[in-house]
Structure 1
Amino acid sequence: MDSNSTQKKARNLQSLTPIKIPVAEISVTSKGTEFGTWAAEKVNDGVIHDKSIHPTADDCNCCASLWRPSWVQMTLNRIYLVERVLVLGRVDRDNGYFNDITVSAGRRKESLQNEQFTSKNTTIKDILLTPPREIQFVLVMGHGSGLYMELCEIMIYRQADCPLRSYSVYCAKQCHCLDGPCDSVTGACENVICEDGWKGNACNETEVSLSTKCHSDKYYYALLAVSSVFGVVVTAAIVCIVINRRNNQRSAEVAPANRESSSPEIYGNLPQTSRNPDNYDCLQMRTVECH
């Protein structure tokens, strides 16, 4: 998907109304002493204080009131791409119980991020997240002491559903499930089966086809055979070279020895020129006379 089509899809999705996460998919925990029947669970009962129906919040019994410092945590049943967090106070009067309130949100409750209000007044505190963020925990805190924190409803909205075969923020990523949609956050296929040629949790990783794999295996084995033959040839050549060098070295060592042992034979083969080896005995001594 090119950048132009992605931007177009993002603009189209931004124009869609975000979807409110149902009450049944949210659990509420709190800290702070409750005022009478104004329990913390009232922030997630789906009832909004409508002054035209109930002149005061006491009449609808639909708001929560906790002694400060206090907090209320909304835990979603899973991670959503959240676009909006809307906190509502009572509309019949401004008693200061809706002041000094902060909101933080995130994937894990140990690492929540403080959020800035996009708009707020004495009855509404609104947060718009652009782009949407992956969120599972929303924490609303009432600071200060000596008074209550009053909240009538906390509503959390997620990104609108993506078209088929897309997911993530503004549906910018694609999944290739064989049948049905994929998870809007992770892209995981509901039927856990990918289309041919795709694999992975979100079916967004290309898979080598069987024919391509066969061709690859064929080339691999051919290359392996050629390499083996080449290795044998090189080994044989090296062995021949070593043997020739050893033979040449031995020949060089034998030649001088042969030359030295042949000298006595030369002298032994010389012909004898004297027939009488005792030449000195055959010398005639001349007699010297004394006068």
Structure 2
Amino acid sequence: MTELVNTSMSSTVHNWTSDHAIDGNVGPDPDVCNCCSGTQNSQISWWMVDMGKRFPVNLITVYSRRNEQTFQQLTDFQLYFANGTMAYSYVLIGNNTRKVLGSKHELTFPSVVTRYIKIQRPGILTLCEVRVYKGECPVGTFGDECLQRCHCADERACDAITGHCQSPACKTGWIGIACNKQCPQDTFGDKCTETCFCAEGTCTNNYGICHGKCRSGYTGSHCNEVEVIKTENKTDVRSSSEYRSAQIIGVAVGGSTAVLFVIVAISFIIYKYRKRNSTSDSKHDYATPDITHAQVETEYDTLDNLNDNQGQGNNSYENERVSAF
């Protein structure tokens, strides 16, 4: 590794300080090269490196002093990792993870994000070189110190820097290039295409489970089924509150219609009655009097009658005049 790091150890012997274990010189022997780190004999001796920040680590090589079988100053050592909390976790070193080639111990394992690495054993601990190799972020993580999460389908890894998923899709309930964005509120499922209607909060982004009751008018395990209200004549797809409101409105409308019909009927009867009375009165007030034959003969003379009367009058006049003279 090229990062600036700090080292420390439980004790020091022969000026074999902790920094000698990362000076790039693998030995052959601390008595000759003064290039190894060593502790005094103690119940537990340890050496530690602080890499300054978290890194994904998948390979560590540890070099012992020459003739390790004779000195036994690295035999059965234990490896610990820790993050910023300094709470170390033991890393099991077995035949599947350890490969010994002379004085070189090669340890491989899946990427582990760590900042501190500790090596310890009972008695004397001598390390001629420790090399830590940076690996890829563990599956499901990316970014600086592998702190960001990606949720790619099929448990595939994402790019260590951008988080771009290698798989063509995200896990159920996630979207985005890095599959690191949860479904928006009230949505869930693949590509967030499903909808839920929870009374409080939102449903789980993957399977759409509501933690509580559904909103009014909805039912079902995902609170996305419209509540069905059944009546005698039909099935009404409404909430119970809406159904009660509809009943009230129906009664009001029906009652208003009946009242209106009665008013119209009464008005029509009154209109017919008044019209009949009006017609009867008109005939009585403006009827033409009957003209009898006698009245015609008395009041109106014909031309013949008038001439006859006039002739009679002239004769009388003549008679009266003759008589006078």
* More relative contact order, 1 or 2 (CA 8 Å, 6+ apart): 1
Could you tell me the TM-score, scaled by structure 2's length? 0.43
- Structure of greater Rg: 2
Could you tell me the TM-score, scaled by structure 1's length? 0.48
